Every structure is written in C-alpha cells, then in structure tokens.
Copies of this chain bind each other. A is one copy, B any other.
Amino acid sequence: MSSSSPLKSFSYNKYETRRRNPNPKISALLVIDVQNYFSSMVKPILQNLLTTIELCRRASIPVIFTRHRHKSPADYGMLGEWWDGDLVYDGTVEAELMPELDRRPEDQVVEKSTYSGFQGTRLEELLKERRVEEVIVTGVMTNLCCETTARDAFTKGFRVFFSADATATADKELHEATLKNLAYGFAYLVDCERLGNGLNGN
C-alpha cells in the first residue's frame, strides 16, 4: 500500500488488523442514500464515489443504490421522533438520487425508510439471488445508514468492505468513530487506492 493512502494516517489505523480485497465475482457495491438532501455532505467525496463506482464497473461488480424516503407517517418508525419530523419525503426533489451519480438502467435502486438498507426491503434476497457474498459500502451518512447497513450485512452473513474515502457524515469525529468500530468488529476497510490496486489484479 503506497504511503499516500489516506488510510495510513488516521486514528482508526490501530484497529485495522485485517486486510483483504473484495472478490469481484461475488461482490456488490452498495451506494447508500446519495440523494439531493445530502448533497453538501456528498460534494467533498463525490469524486471518490464516482471513482469507486467506476472501478467496480470495470471489475463487473453490480452496483446497487439505496434511496431513503418516507411515504407516510406509517413508515416513520423512530426516525420521526429522533429527527423531529425533518425527514426525506418521497416525491420531493431532495429525495431524488443526485444527478451527478453514474447510474445505469441495469442498476437496482432499493427504497428504504430506516437506517439499514436491509430492514423492510428486498436487499437481502436481491443479493442472494445474485449469489453475492460480499458487499462494499459507500455513500452517506457514514455512522447512520452506512454503518447500520454494514453491521446488518455482517450479521446476515455477508463479508463487508467499507470505504473510508467514499463515505461521509456530519463531522470527522463521528466518521472516525465508525471506522474504528467497523475495522474492529465488522469490515475490511478500503479506499479508492486499495480498490484500484485490489480489484484489477495488481
């Protein structure tokens, strides 16, 4: 791993005791909630996100997007109380996936109404139908939807890879807290550089 890797100089490095590359034949890329509502959070990682998607496509890894949206109070769950009604509502421009994303007709979009991409959705079946055993997690927000989806994937038996540079959240401290805990118990950390080296047979 070259010395310019962003993964080398962070507080979570000491928790990263395991290293592995995704296996393109059995992986899927999850791009979590990259919606207009989160655009200011996404902008700093947009290039990394697009690079990650591109690297995965080149390795023929299917790309699955999630889209968080509420259709009625029946689906608010605890999010209504927690966020004081400041939710992402279906049918609004904010709820749409960002136009800057490289999306293709064959990419699945999984709609969800809570943090985990698995809860109340067909994501698990979709992955199993495609014989996917590994997921690579990107998108927003690192410590909410990305981390909960990653933990859920692990407990459901998937091998989890988590992008340190194509995820983002409200602040650096929370982002790093997620990476520490995921590196410790759940996920192999990756970034654009490792994927660039690891997915293309280097």
State the A residues within 8 Å of B (CB). 11, 15, 18, 77-78, 81-82, 114-116, 119, 143-144, 147-148, 151-152, 154-160, 170, 173-174, 176-178, 180-181, 184-186
Contact = CB atoms under 8 A, between A and B. Distances in A.
B184 A181 contact: no
Dominant secondary structure at the A interface: helix
Given A77-B155, A155-B114, A174 B178 contact: no
Nearest to A141: B185
Nearest to A147: B181
How many copies the complex holds: the figure is 2
12 contacts: A11-B173, A78-B157, A78-B160, A82-B154, A82-B185, A82-B186, A115-B151, A119-B155, A119-B156, A143-B181, A177-B177, A181-B181
B173 A143 contact: no
A144 to B, nearest CB: 5
| Most B C-beta atoms less than 10 A away, residue of A78, A81, A119 | A78
A115 B154 contact: yes
A198 to B, nearest CB: 18
A184 B180 contact: no
Nearest to A144: B185
A123 to B, nearest CB: 13
B154 A151 contact: no
Given A78-B158, A119-B155, A174-B180, 16 more contacts: A77-B154, A77-B155, A77-B156, A78-B155, A78-B159, A78-B160, A114-B155, A115-B185, A116-B151, A116-B152, A147-B181, A151-B151, A170-B184, A174-B184, A176-B177, A177-B178
A81 B174 contact: no
Contacts of A147: 151, 181
A181 B180 contact: no
Nearest to A81: B159
A19 B177 CA distance: 22
A155 B159 contact: no
